[in-house]
Amino acid sequence: MNLATKLTWLRIILVPLVVVFYYISATWAYILATVMFILAAVTDFFDGYIARKYNQVTNLGKFLDPIADKILVFVAFLIVLDKDAALNTHHIMTIAMGIMVVREFVIAALRQIAAANGKVIAADKLGKYKTFTQDIAIPFMLMRPVLVELWSGIDYVVFGWILISTILALVSGINYIVVNKEVFSSK
């Protein structure tokens, strides 16, 4: 197993630690959960960089990397939805997460159809921007119980980043479909 794949596995291994520390409900634990999330998110950049630079791209890595990304993001959303009712006001978080989950399933299906026809659909810039904004929003979400004590306006920051990442999820999802529409008509 090469270094890039080990980093992808590290991202998956860090997810349960994020969950455990988040549910401890202490300032130090929220900070640790957030640090673990950020560390996991950073591995997403480095595993791809290392794989390309050092020719360590493998089928396992191509399969595991997007799964690790989804596990990290969706588990973080789920634990915040479960524990922080203030963030789920008017079900904004549930709607945002629903949009993001549907987008990921549609794009995964699109990629699977393309792969069956010998075509690879790589991540585009909009998809990378979506991931980046999620990776900014989630640490704010995880730290919200601590930050709200320091500044009551933190919810505006959290909702702003969630709105941006949800819009990017929609736009990038539509873009993937439009740019790759021929996949749906192939035999």
User: Per-residue pLDDT tens for 72-114?
Assistant: 999 999 999 888 877 766 678 888 989 999 998 899 889 888 8
**CA-to-CA distance for 157 and 85, rounded, in angstroms?**
17
**What ranges in 54-91 are assigned the alpha helix state H?**
59-83
**CA-to-CA distance for 29 and 18, rounded, in angstroms?**
9
Answer whether 0.75 is exceeded by the pTM.
yes
| Mean pLDDT, residues 140-163 | 92
Asked whether residue 55 carries a pLDDT value surpassing 60, the answer given is: yes
Using 50, 70 and 90 to split pLDDT, how confident is the model at 52?
confident
Q: Which domains are seen in the chain, by residue range?
A: 3-185 (1.20.120.1760)
**CA-to-CA distance for 26 and 181, rounded, in angstroms?**
48
**CA-to-CA distance for 64 and 3, rounded, in angstroms?**
13
**CA-to-CA distance for 1 and 58, rounded, in angstroms?**
10
Using 50, 70 and 90 to split pLDDT, how confident is the model at 146?
very high
**Helix (H/G/I), strand (E/B), else coil: 51:** helix
